[in-house]
């Protein structure tokens, strides 16, 4: 009976994993040809000297955490050092800079969160932080812009003090 249950669970897990992978083919883009997306809210056309965007912002320019108004974050649980580390981490995710991303993480994190750099994202806000078991959890909100579809997304950054009393990013969900 246990082998049957294990077999069914393995089959379900495998099919879920394969279904989540989906069709991730990417077509090469030529900067001289008009670009369109499959999203019904966004249409982008580039021609000599004219640029039109409808629906959502044009995301072809440099992307960073500048969509967040960092100076307006007044959360008592987020100090300036945490804010700087969070900003650097978000910039690295948005720019898909693996080395910069690793520099923002705690020393024991490793490469477990590199998958966060797989999809283009636009980070728009930092939610209200809360404390849990000596850690500070900071939610960030934005848009996942992968595969031509725009969908809402959120990550939670887990901060914990190291032995020297400095806040480190120990996990991201």
Q: Is residue 12 part of a domain?
A: no
Q: Is residue 34 part of a domain?
A: no
In this predicted structure, the answer to whether residue 110 has a pLDDT above a threshold of 50 is yes
Q: Is residue 95 part of a domain?
A: yes
pLDDT band at 172 (very low <50, low <70, confident <90, very high): very high
Q: Is residue 66 part of a domain?
A: no
Q: Is residue 112 part of a domain?
A: yes
Q: What is the pLDDT of residues 118-142, one digit of tens each?
A: 888 888 899 999 999 999 999 999 8
Q: Is residue 101 part of a domain?
A: yes
pLDDT score, position 3? 66
- pTM of the complete model: 0.61
Q: Is residue 23 part of a domain?
A: no
- In angstroms, the CA 6 to CA 150 distance is 37
Q: Is residue 51 part of a domain?
A: no
144: nearest Cα among 69, 98, 94, 97: 94
> Which structural domain range is residue 105 located in?
73-172
Query: Encoding tokens for residue 56?
Result: 């959502």
CATH number at residue 128: 3.10.450.50
The domain tally of the chain equals: 1
């Amino acid at each position: 009976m246990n082998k049957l249950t294990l077999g069914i669970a393995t089959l379900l897990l495998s099919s879920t994993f394969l279904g989540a992978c989906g069709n991730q083919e990417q077509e090469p883009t030529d900067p001289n040809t008009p670009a369109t997306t499959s999203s019904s809210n966004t249409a982008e056309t580039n021609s000599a000297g004219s640029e039109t965007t409808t629906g959502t912002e044009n995301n072809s320019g440099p992307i960073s955490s500048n969509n967040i108004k960092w100076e307006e974050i007044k959360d008592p649980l987020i100090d300036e050092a945490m804010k700087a580390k969070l900003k650097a981490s978000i910039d690295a995710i948005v720019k898909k800079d693996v080395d910069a991303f690793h520099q923002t993480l705690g020393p024991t994190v490793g490469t477990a969160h590199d998958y966060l750099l797989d999809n283009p994202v636009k980070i728009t806000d930092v939610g209200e932080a809360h404390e849990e078991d000596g850690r500070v959890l900071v939610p960030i909100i934005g848009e996942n812009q992968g595969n031509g579809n725009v969908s809402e997304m959120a990550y939670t950054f887990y901060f914990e003090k190291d032995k020297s009393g400095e806040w480190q990013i120990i996990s991201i969900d």
